Amino acid sequence: MILLTGANGHLGANLARRLLKDGATMRVLLRRASDNSTVEGLAVERAYGDLRDPASLLAACRGCDAIYHCAAQLSTVAGGEQQLFANNVLGTRNLLDAAAKNGVRRVVVSGSLSATGHRWEGPTDETEPFDPFEEHLPYARTKAAVEHECLKAVAGGLDVVIAVSCAILGPNDFKPSRMGQLLLNYAHGRLRAYVPGGFEFVAAADIVEGHLLAMTHGRSGEKYIFSTQFMTVSDLLALYGEVTGRPNHALCVPAALLEPVARIGEFAHRHLKIGGRQLLTPAAIRLLRLERRADCSKARSELGYHSGSIADAVRDAYDGFVSRGLIERRQSFAVRSLESERTKA
């Protein structure tokens, strides 16, 4: 029996479907107050509980041989530190403690590139320490503390491996994620501006494969970074244009001009509760300007990891939104342009 946490999230939803496809018997940890419609129709056993409730975790882990811990409270804005700490750090500690008491063979915990130190010259690998004196969001600090909890559990005799994810692109994005919302905004012509820069992205299929490899081949107490490709924002929007059939009319605005606007928006969202979801946060701008690159050579050499295609991941994400009625499928912009040229000829 496999226990999966975070089945409603982007990573967990894809991992659940891959595990079922591979014939796994699976239990998913759910909160009764959450929207659990994303697991409707899946052949999974449901365990209701909360990462902050140790007793519910003891029951959820009972009879399980392996655990994939993908649940985490995500945040790219300032604030909510105590809740983030309770859910991410203490929640992970509670789950690892429950796993140890139930004799679970191995736990794979989902990590974040934000908890790995930034290397200014060259790509970052697993050896780069997290620098607590740099500017970090509370989320990144909690994910660094999560890794510490994992190592404490390993020292206590539990077999734990950390699978580090970059920004995920792909299908089964039900909430949706911030990258998924960006695709939706682009498809509906609501993207007005963006900042230059780039980031490491991972296809949903690749990070799922990385978790499976970490479970079967990873070394206890080690972490492995999984990425598919570094992409600039311009290149990513070009892919969005190809799949949606819309040209990119958004303006590329220097970060120095958009960052003050983002800070005002963050203040309004946090203190005045004004507006909807903020995608272009000060932290997002800062990360894009860093243009972090990831080195996956450890995962490739030790686990046999091979990355796929970001273009395929974007197409899968688009198809998923179309199938759910969130986007109306349009003819490819590239195809329409070609047909236009043929008509002129």
Dump the DSSP string for 317-330. HHHHHHHTTSS---
Q: Please tell me the predicted confidence (pLDDT) of residue 201.
A: 96
Domains and CATH numbers, the chain: 2-170+200-229+293-308 (3.40.50.720)
Q: Please tell me the predicted confidence (pLDDT) of residue 269.
A: 55
Encode pLDDT of 139-151 as tens digits.
889 999 999 999 9
- Distance between alpha carbon 336 and the CA centroid of its chain, in Å? 33
What is the rounded average pLDDT of the residues 49-77?
93
Strand order in the sheet with 167-169: 167-169, 198-203, 229-232
Instruction: Give the residue with greater pLDDT, 144 vs 341.
Output: 144
Using pLDDT thresholds of 50, 70 and 90, give the confidence band for residue 121: confident
Q: Please tell me the predicted confidence (pLDDT) of residue 78.
A: 59
Tokens of residue 302, six digits: 């030790």
Q: Are residues 242 and 335 in contact, defined by beta-carbon separation less than 8 angstroms? A: no
Tell whether omega for the bond before 176 is within 30 degrees of 0, i.e. cis.
yes
Core vs surface per residue 73-112: b (16+ CB within 10 A) or e: bebbbbeeeeebbebbbbbbbbbbbbbbebebebbbbbbb
Using pLDDT thresholds of 50, 70 and 90, give the confidence band for residue 338: very low
For the chain, the farthest-separated pair of C-alpha atoms sits apart, in whole angstroms, at: 73
Cα gap 312→205, rounded to integer Å: 10
Encode pLDDT of 285-326 as tens digits.
677 777 889 999 999 999 999 999 999 999 999 999 999 999
Q: Are residues 185 and 87 in contact, defined by beta-carbon separation less than 8 angstroms? A: no
What is the rounded average pLDDT of the residues 17-43?
95
Q: Please tell me the predicted confidence (pLDDT) of residue 341.
A: 39
Q: Which helix (H) or strand (E) holds 252?
A: strand 251-252
Using pLDDT thresholds of 50, 70 and 90, give the confidence band for residue 339: very low
* Residue 333 predicted with pLDDT over 60: no
* Residue 212 predicted with pLDDT over 50: yes
Poorest-pLDDT segment among 93-97, 133-137, 309-313: 133-137
Tokens of residue 202, six digits: 């991972």
* Residue 336 predicted with pLDDT over 50: no
Cα gap 311→209, rounded to integer Å: 17
> How many CB atoms lie under 10 A from the CB of residue 335?
11
Using pLDDT thresholds of 50, 70 and 90, give the confidence band for residue 330: confident
Q: Please tell me the predicted confidence (pLDDT) of residue 334.
A: 45
Q: Share the mean pLDDT of the chain.
A: 88
* Residue 342 predicted with pLDDT over 80: no
Secondary structure of residue 69 in the 3-state scheme: strand
Q: Please tell me the predicted confidence (pLDDT) of residue 271.
A: 55
Q: Please tell me the predicted confidence (pLDDT) of residue 145.
A: 97
Query: E strands of 70-151, at which residues?
Result: 106-112
* Residue 265 predicted with pLDDT over 80: no
* Residue 16 predicted with pLDDT over 50: yes
The DSSP code sequence of 254-283 is -HHHHHHHHHHHHHIIIII--SS---S-HH
